[in-house]
């Protein structure tokens, strides 16, 4: 199996040559993750507790203004997330507005969205029509009963599957499925997911579980590591490693030997990719985060609402990017969980 491909150098998009965002470690920041709500209609047991409390939301026009400031600094890809982004009213207006923006080089932005898929069946086509490029759907099981136990919503599997198919029909391709694996919880789904990816013609990505949950579930033993996933999928059908699509690709890609189906493994715990990180995050209440695991947030919404000009917002973004952490410290002594869980940061 494994033909190993060398990891390409740090992302250096064309925009950096003009005036793009670059952090103190030489990484080009071209990827904005924007959370449009931290409300969610699922209560995935490894992610959320029962509490409803959230940090709040900005107005759609405020997100649009901030995205415009980022794009003017070299952002090339915007991923909308949450919470559950499809719960957010005005989402179509926001996508339409972002789709009208151009990169520093006059190209279209790539606009992606991460969703649990529950409302996707009816939303896929309207989102495509206003300019969404593609979707990633989160699914942590392919067994309907296990799925409903994880999401705590009866009938959720059927809804999400219909959403995945609607996204394909709408042309939001490639449709990717993200699955977070926890040992003793859903790791029995690995082989079934392999079959599912092949049958549905989607790109499946397994993600290692990170210490970002609301409860206290995480421990190194709960993480299902890349080598085990590859070994078990290889029993379904031999795998071949595929080259990365681009230099900041977070997933290691594999194809099945018969050419049907693609698997990716995102291994932030066992194979961190911080050296290639090109991301910055904006939370639903307008705080900039330079890393999922940041201990500090930067209140750009506060500045904006107090009357900052566009130039002042851009300066603040540049200063914030400059503070981006070199790497996360998961699993190291003294590691501190961030003050917010994944659902409130924006996954
Ligand atoms: N509601 C949307 C969804 O379900 O895709 C977007 C937000 S959700 C927080 C984004 C992703 O984060 C989901 O795929 C979820 O499984 C993942 N996630 C949540 N907690 C995680 C953790 N502790 N480690 C790794 N991924 C996590």
Give the model confidence (pLDDT) of 205-254 as tens digits.
999 999 988 777 889 999 999 999 999 999 888 999 999 888 778 899 99
Q: Which residues pair with 80 in a beta bridge?
A: 34, 113
Q: Is the pLDDT of residue 8 over 80?
A: no
**Is the four-CA dihedral 56, 60, 66, 70 of positive or negative sign?**
positive
156 lines ligand 1 (CB under 6 A): no
Q: Which pLDDT belongs to residue 18?
A: 57
Smallest CA separation from ligand 1 atom 12, residue: 347
Give the model confidence (pLDDT) of 266-296 as tens digits.
999 888 889 999 999 999 999 999 999 999 9
CA-only gyration radius of the chain, Å: 19
86 lines ligand 1 (CB under 6 A): no
Q: Which pLDDT belongs to residue 205?
A: 96
330 lines ligand 1 (CB under 6 A): no
Q: Ligand 1 pocket test: which of 189, 342, 343, 345 has the largest number of ligand atoms within 8 Å of its C-beta? A: 342
Q: Is the pLDDT of residue 12 over 50?
A: no
Give the model confidence (pLDDT) of 186-206 as tens digits.
999 999 999 999 898 889 999
Go through the domains of the chain in sequence order and give each one's CATH number: 13-345 (3.20.20.70)
* HSE, side-chain direction, 13 A CA sphere, residue 149: 8
Q: Which pLDDT belongs to residue 19?
A: 66
**Is the four-CA dihedral 168, 173, 174, 178 of positive or negative sign?**
negative
Give the model confidence (pLDDT) of 22-75 as tens digits.
999 999 999 999 999 999 999 999 898 767 678 999 999 999 999 999 999 999
Q: Which pLDDT belongs to residue 9?
A: 41
Q: Which pLDDT belongs to residue 271?
A: 87
Q: How many angstroms separate the most distant Cα atoms in the chain?
A: 59
Give the model confidence (pLDDT) of 100-134 as tens digits.
999 999 999 999 999 999 999 999 999 999 999 99
CB burial of residue 261 (10 Å; 0-12, 13-18, 19+):
buried
Could you tell me the pTM of the whole model?
0.92
Query: CA-based angle 121:190:41, to the nearest 5?
Result: 35
């Amino acid at each position: 199996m494994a033909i190993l491909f060398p990891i390409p150098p740090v992302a250096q998009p064309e925009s950096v040559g003009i005036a793009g965002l670059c952090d103190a470690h030489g990484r080009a920041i071209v990827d904005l993750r924007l959370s449009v709500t931290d409300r969610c209609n699922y209560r995935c047991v490894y992610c959320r507790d029962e509490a409803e409390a959230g940090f709040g939301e900005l107005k759609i026009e405020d997100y649009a203004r901030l995205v415009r400031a980022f794009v003017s600094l070299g952002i090339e890809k915007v991923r909308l997330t949450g919470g559950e982004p499809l719960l957010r009213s005005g989402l179509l207006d926001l996508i339409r507005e972002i789709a009208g923006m151009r990169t520093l080089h006059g190209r279209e932005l790539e606009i992606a969205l991460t969703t649990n898929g529950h409302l996707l069946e009816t939303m896929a086509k309207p989102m495509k029509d206003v300019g969404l490029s593609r979707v990633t759907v989160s699914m942590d099981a392919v067994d309907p009963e296990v799925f409903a136990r994880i999401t705590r919503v009866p009938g959720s599997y059927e809804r999400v599957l219909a959403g995945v198919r609607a996204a394909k029909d709408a042309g939001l391709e490639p449709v990717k499925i993200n699955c977070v694996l926890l040992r003793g919880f859903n790791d029995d789904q690995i082989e079934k997911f392999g079959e599912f990816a092949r049958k549905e013609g989607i790109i499946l990505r397994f993600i290692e579980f990170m210490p970002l949950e609301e409860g206290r579930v995480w421990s190194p033993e709960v993480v299902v590591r890349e080598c085990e996933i590859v070994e078990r999928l290889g029993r379904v059908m031999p795998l071949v490693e595929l080259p990365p699509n681009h230099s900041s690709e977070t997933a290691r890609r594999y194809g099945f030997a018969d050419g049907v189906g693609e698997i990716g493994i995102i291994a932030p715990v066992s194979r961190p990719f911080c050296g290639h990180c090109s991301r910055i995050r904006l939370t639903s209440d307008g705080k900039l985060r330079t890393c999922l695991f940041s201990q500090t947030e930067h209140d750009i919404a506060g500045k904006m609402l107090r009357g900052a000009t566009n130039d002042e917002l851009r300066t603040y973004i540049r200063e914030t990017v400059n503070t981006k952490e070199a790497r996360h410290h998961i699993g190291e002594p003294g590691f501190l969980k961030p003050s917010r869980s994944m659902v409130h940061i924006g996954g």
